[in-house]
């Protein structure tokens, strides 16, 4: 009895410490979302973000005027994403978590084909960032409710395959293990080599940079082509 009370207090303290640590970042994001609901500010910010983008390859952050940014659901989603990011077990230079995923289908697309000689590509479809019954995105081409079971998730992943035929797509399990281990929500890029995380992209959408991934792969390919020098 005493022990479980102690454990409960420890748990509560841990939770409180986590909340305190995440609070500044969360409040900042909340203020940003609130500001983004003023359309003139939204347009200006999106323009600025577009201009500061180094590469045309990186998908621009787009938000239509009709989209509400500051809602209970959006705040919940942002908090959840920041918490996952903070607690993730995938870290640069460390062993890559080998989480369970479910196979959808196998084939291959563009950046994938260009680097097929040095890398295998895998899309892990996780929970929806903008489910139709959560933080709705009016920009989304599909309105998908939160996945209640694995079948829902597999069905939604099939849509991804129909949009990008040829990608290797697997889905996260219903414990959302990959999402948690990699802090993937809303979206994220990783490169794993010899079971180590060798590239960890920023949190999407603003930190999602395909150009960075390409840069890493180019450098890696060059390092393979360079003749080995033997120092004796
Ligand atoms: C995983 O995410 C889905 C939403 O896609 C949710 O319904 C489910 O409860 C989550 N699982 C856990 C263990 O949190």
Q: Express each pLDDT in 170-228 by its tens digit.
A: 999 999 999 999 999 999 999 999 999 999 999 998 899 999 999 999 999 999 987 76
Pairing mode, strands 196-200 and 190-193: antiparallel
C-beta of 146 in contact with ligand 1 (< 6 A): yes
| Domain boundaries along the sequence of the chain | 2-225
Q: For residue 147, give the ligand 1 atom closest to its CA.
A: 5
Pocket test for ligand 1, best of 83, 84, 147 (most atoms within 8 A of CB): 147
Does the Cβ of 120 fall within 6 Å of ligand 1? Answer: no
Reading the block at residue 222, the tokens are 């060059």
Which atom of ligand 1 approaches the CA of 126 most closely? 5
Could you tell me if the CB of 173 is within 6 A of ligand 1?
no
Query: In which band, very low, low, confident or very high, does the pLDDT at 2 lie, cut at 50, 70 and 90?
Result: low
Instruction: Kindly report the pTM of this predicted structure.
Output: 0.85
In a 13 Å sphere around the CA of 222, the CA atoms on its Cβ side amount to 6
Question: CA-CA distance, 206 to 220, in Å (whole number)?
Answer: 25
pLDDT digits (tens, 9 = 90+) for 42-83: 999 888 888 877 777 888 888 888 889 999 999 999 999 999
Class of domain 2-225: alpha beta
Is the CB of 217 within 6 Å of ligand 1? Answer: no
- C-alpha 185 to ligand 1 mean position (Å): 12
Q: Separation of 126 CA from ligand 1 center, angstroms?
A: 10
Strand 101-105, strand 169-172: pairing: antiparallel
Closest protein CA for atom 8 of ligand 1: 174
8 Å CB contact between 183 and 83? no
pLDDT band at 27, cuts 50/70/90? very high
| Band of pLDDT at residue 17, cut at 50, 70 and 90 | very high
């Amino acid at each position: 009895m005493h022990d479980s009370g102690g454990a409960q207090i420890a748990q509560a303290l841990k939770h409180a410490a986590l909340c305190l640590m995440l609070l500044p970042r969360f409040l900042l994001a909340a203020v940003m979302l609130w500001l983004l609901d003023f359309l003139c500010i939204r347009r200006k910010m999106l323009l600025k973000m577009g201009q500061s983008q180094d590469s045309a390859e990186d998908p621009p952050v787009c938000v239509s005027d009709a989209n509400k940014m500051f809602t209970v659901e959006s705040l919940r989603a942002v908090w959840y994403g920041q918490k996952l990011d903070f607690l993730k077990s995938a870290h640069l230079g460390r062993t890559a978590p080998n989480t369970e995923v479910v196979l959808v289908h196998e084939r291959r697309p563009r950046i994938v084909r260009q680097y097929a000689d040095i890398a295998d590509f895998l899309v892990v479809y996780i929970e929806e960032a903008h489910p139709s019954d959560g933080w709705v995105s009016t920009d989304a081409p599909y309105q998908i409710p939160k996945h209640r079971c694995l079948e829902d998730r597999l069905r939604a992943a099939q849509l991804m395959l129909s949009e990008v035929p040829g990608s290797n797509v697997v889905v996260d399990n219903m414990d959302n293990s990959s999402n948690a281990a990699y802090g993937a929500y809303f979206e994220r890029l990783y490169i794993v080599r010899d079971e180590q995380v060798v590239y960890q992209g920023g949190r999407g959408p603003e930190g999602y940079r395909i150009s960075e991934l390409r840069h890493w792969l180019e450098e890696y390919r060059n390092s393979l082509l360079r003749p080995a020098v033997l120092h004796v």
